[in-house]
Chain A
Amino acid sequence: MQSIKKAFLPVFIFARTGMRRSFRDKTALFFVFLFPLIFLFIFGGIFSKTGGVTFKVALVNQSNSDFSRQFVKQLESNKVFKVDAAAGSLDQAKEKMSRGQLDAAIVLPSDFGVPKGQAYPRGQAKVYYTQNSQSAAQTLTSVLDAVFVGVNGKFVKVDTPFTVTSEQLNTRSLKPFDYTFSGLLGFSIIGLGIFGPVNVFPELKKQGVLRRLHTTPLKVWQYFIANILTQAGVGIISILLQFIVAMTVFHLHLAGNIFELALFIVLGIVTIFGVGMAIGGWAKDVNQAAPLSNIVVFPMIFLSGTFFPRYLMPTWLQKVSNFLPLTPVIDGVRLIATEGKHLTALGPQLGLMLAWTIVIYFIAFRVFRWE
């Protein structure tokens, strides 16, 4: 008991010092805490606009009829259309469309809504679109079509034997942001677990800090565990911050249990940190560490589905990427955060992570150099 306590004394003291140091180092503070938040705001800003499909359109009304005015008002209040008030003429709309700022332009010609001697008004709206917005224009046309079917029905009673209705099944579905946030968490885990040690350890070697430690009885496993604890502690705080921002600013919907997710993320950091330890512990200097970490990290980020779903990849690539160390981490975070799965249901992911942890740390121990 006494000897166990003695063996873990340096682990505890080194981890405590490491934690304190992380909070004193302004550069580390930026990269560990602020950098992920900046990412969060960028991606959150892109993906948080939800509530279904919207079209940015220009509405050019060339008609003076009451009907056209009312029709415009209705379209403007429709959530599907985002009417750009600045594009009042067709020429302005065309210019904006060519820059990709508008999906389409809806033109109501001068005779739109004029009765023309009949009992009710009539007219034909025209949708202009560019090559790049074909699918948007098609959807838009059918939406307008549906609107006109409703309008027509008010003027002319038509019998409709066949109709279709739709009903929403689940109360909440996956928003793009929810999916992206899981990817961002994975990205933070990589940042903490790989980029951290890959930069820090060669620097400590350069300063001779590790050489000094090498002359003490400190063992590699004690130093490893102390570093894992520091990294996991810092990681949890950083990820907690991201959660707070994601939930308050971007209304993140977390399907699973937050404590299970936290535990899973810690396990993920431990696994991925092994990769960083192996590279940083092996490299003699930054020049050796940087290229190797880039070769390992960047393919892994994309192949493991951090930002793009893996089902978009060809099948053979999916099969290969199944076995990358980051894949079970990303999958697991996503399963808990967006599908509400429990840790008990993540057997395959946890198993693969355990296998990788053993392999990676075995390598890391073997290749570690104090100087």
Chain B
Amino acid sequence: MFCVKLLNTLTEKWYLMGSMAKHMVEVRNLTKKYDDKVAVNGISFEVNKGEIFGILGPNGAGKTTTLEMIETIRDIDGGTITVDGVDVAKHPQEVKYIIGVQPQSPAFMDKVKLTEHLEQLASAYGSRVNAKQLLDEVGLTEKANAYVENLSGGQKQRFSIVASLVHQPQVFFMDEPTTGLDPQARRNLWDLIRETRDKGVTILLTTHYLEEAEMLCDRVAIMDNGNIIALDTPKNLIKQLLARGFKKTQHVEQANLEDVFIDLTGKELRD
């Protein structure tokens, strides 16, 4: 009797840990309606373990809504989502331990020190952290006792990432992470995102910047009007476009304006 119970608990744990899951995120026929408007129209896609997956699309395409449903903070009207094998609608509390979420805006209380923010967020997961060490890793050692409102834009973004990864999640959601950053801060953030991926964290992000998606993402999904209209690696998508007979006026540029900007102002991060 006890053995059966133990076995059940183990399989349940096994199931919850989801180590068997093939994909980190699996979305099946996902639907979301606001009154009469269909925001997400029965989309399906998978995010592989260890990849950087981008969702592109114009404003109102349904990117953020999709992300929020995967993040457990918006009700699912139809379809299923599993994160590392765990059903989001059925076990949202378990999913919250696996995922890390970086909101569009930094979203931190004022008059709270960086170390206190990290301790507070870690406690929400029932754990304690070495806040100083985490800040070291993103070059914010000297700001340990500062408030978030006194950080620069780039520092805020880096801090936001550390804060979202405080519980060592397996998958990390970022909603437009580089919006409003200067080129240096943006490049720095790309490096940080790649480093995070290299530590084994799967990353799902949305962005408006196409060159960012091209440089950063392993695969991208392009959304429009609640539908996914294309999904592949950036390279393949370009290849397919060319195969359809697309021609751009040929003039090979050796550099663009951003290269000029970075050459003149340097790659070094400005805070």
Chain A positions within 8 Å of B, measured between CB atoms, are: 6-7, 9-10, 12-14, 17, 20-21, 24-25, 204, 207-209, 211-218, 370-371
- Residues of the B chain whose Cβ atoms lie less than 8 Å from the Cβ of A208: 103-105, 107
Which of the 9-residue segments B16-24, B112-120, B190-198 touches chain A? B112-120
Which B residues between 72 and 126 are near A, CB-CB below 8 angstroms?
72-73, 93, 96-97, 99, 101, 103-105, 107-112, 116, 119-121, 123-126
Known contacts A214-B73, A217-B124, A13 near B119 by CB under 8 Å: yes
- Residues of the B chain whose Cβ atoms lie less than 8 Å from the Cβ of A371: 73
Do B124 and A218 touch (CB < 8 A)? yes
Do A215 and B112 touch (CB < 8 A)? no
B71 contacts the other chain (CB 8 A): yes
A20 and B147 CA atoms in complex are apart in Å by: 13
Shortest Cβ distance from residue B223 to the other chain A in the assembled complex, whole angstroms: 21
| Cβ-neighbour of A217 out of B73, B97, B128 (below 8 A) | B97
Shortest Cβ distance from residue B221 to the other chain A in the assembled complex, whole angstroms: 21
Closest to B102 in A: A212
Complex A-B, nearest 10 residue pairs according to Cβ-Cβ distance, in ascending order: A208-B107, A13-B123, A215-B101, A216-B124, A218-B124, A10-B123, A24-B111, A6-B126, A217-B96, A212-B107
- Residues of the A chain whose Cβ atoms lie less than 8 Å from the Cβ of B112: 17, 20-21
- Residues of the A chain whose Cβ atoms lie less than 8 Å from the Cβ of B107: 207-209, 211-212
Do A17 and B120 touch (CB < 8 A)? yes
Closest to B100 in A: A215
Closest to A210 in B: B107
A13 and B73 CA atoms in complex are apart in Å by: 23
| Cβ-neighbour of A14 out of B110, B123, B125 (below 8 A) | B123
- Residues of the A chain whose Cβ atoms lie less than 8 Å from the Cβ of B167: 216
- Residues of the B chain whose Cβ atoms lie less than 8 Å from the Cβ of A213: 124
Say what secondary structure dominates the interface of chain A: helix
Say what secondary structure dominates the interface of chain B: loop
Do B73 and A14 touch (CB < 8 A)? no
A308 and B108 CA atoms in complex are apart in Å by: 43
User: Using a Cβ cutoff of 8 Å, how many contacts connect chains A and B?
Assistant: 68
A12 and B93 CA atoms in complex are apart in Å by: 21
A24 and B120 CA atoms in complex are apart in Å by: 17
Known contacts A211-B73, A212-B107, A217 near B125 by CB under 8 Å: yes
A45 and B64 CA atoms in complex are apart in Å by: 58
- Residues of the A chain whose Cβ atoms lie less than 8 Å from the Cβ of B104: 208
Do A207 and B121 touch (CB < 8 A)? no
Shortest Cβ distance from residue B90 to the other chain A in the assembled complex, whole angstroms: 15
A341 and B121 CA atoms in complex are apart in Å by: 44
Do B120 and A14 touch (CB < 8 A)? yes
Do B125 and A204 touch (CB < 8 A)? no
A370 and B96 CA atoms in complex are apart in Å by: 15
- Residues of the A chain whose Cβ atoms lie less than 8 Å from the Cβ of B72: 215
A308 and B15 CA atoms in complex are apart in Å by: 64
Closest to B109 in A: A209
- Residues of the B chain whose Cβ atoms lie less than 8 Å from the Cβ of A211: 73, 103, 107
- Residues of the A chain whose Cβ atoms lie less than 8 Å from the Cβ of B120: 10, 13-14, 17
A209 and B101 CA atoms in complex are apart in Å by: 12
List 24 interface pairs A-B (beta carbons < 8 Å), by A numbering.
A9-B123, A12-B123, A13-B119, A13-B123, A14-B123, A17-B119, A17-B120, A20-B112, A25-B111, A204-B109, A207-B107, A207-B109, A209-B109, A211-B73, A211-B103, A211-B107, A212-B101, A212-B107, A212-B108, A215-B72, A215-B96, A215-B101, A216-B121, A216-B167
Q: Among B96, B99, B104, find the residue whose CB has the most chain A CB atoms closer than 10 A.
A: B96
A371 and B107 CA atoms in complex are apart in Å by: 12
Do B116 and A20 touch (CB < 8 A)? yes
- Residues of the B chain whose Cβ atoms lie less than 8 Å from the Cβ of A24: 111
- Residues of the B chain whose Cβ atoms lie less than 8 Å from the Cβ of A17: 112, 116, 119-120
A17 and B116 CA atoms in complex are apart in Å by: 7
Do A215 and B108 touch (CB < 8 A)? no
A212 and B107 CA atoms in complex are apart in Å by: 7
Closest to A21 in B: B111
Shortest Cβ distance from residue A21 to the other chain B in the assembled complex, whole angstroms: 5
Closest to A200 in B: B109
- Residues of the A chain whose Cβ atoms lie less than 8 Å from the Cβ of B119: 13, 17
A67 and B99 CA atoms in complex are apart in Å by: 96
Closest to A24 in B: B111
Do B108 and A209 touch (CB < 8 A)? yes
Known contacts A9-B126, A14-B120, A215 near B99 by CB under 8 Å: yes
Closest to A14 in B: B120
- Residues of the B chain whose Cβ atoms lie less than 8 Å from the Cβ of A12: 123
Shortest Cβ distance from residue A46 to the other chain B in the assembled complex, whole angstroms: 36
Closest to A22 in B: B111
Known contacts A17-B112, A217-B93, A217-B96, A207 near B123 by CB under 8 Å: no
- Sample of 8 further A-B pairs with CB below 8 A, known A211-B103, A216-B125: A9-B123, A17-B119, A207-B108, A208-B104, A209-B107, A213-B124, A216-B167, A217-B97
A7 and B111 CA atoms in complex are apart in Å by: 25
Shortest Cβ distance from residue B175 to the other chain A in the assembled complex, whole angstroms: 10
Known contacts A10-B126, A209-B108, A211-B73, A216 near B103 by CB under 8 Å: no
A13 and B111 CA atoms in complex are apart in Å by: 15
Shortest Cβ distance from residue B67 to the other chain A in the assembled complex, whole angstroms: 11
- Residues of the A chain whose Cβ atoms lie less than 8 Å from the Cβ of B126: 6-7, 9-10, 217
| Cβ-neighbour of B124 out of A10, A204, A207 (below 8 A) | A10
Shortest Cβ distance from residue B109 to the other chain A in the assembled complex, whole angstroms: 5
Shortest Cβ distance from residue B219 to the other chain A in the assembled complex, whole angstroms: 24
A207 and B101 CA atoms in complex are apart in Å by: 15
A128 and B126 CA atoms in complex are apart in Å by: 78
Known contacts A13-B123, A217-B97, A212 near B103 by CB under 8 Å: yes
Which B residues between 153 and 171 are near A, CB-CB below 8 angstroms?
167
A128 and B195 CA atoms in complex are apart in Å by: 92
Do B109 and A215 touch (CB < 8 A)? no
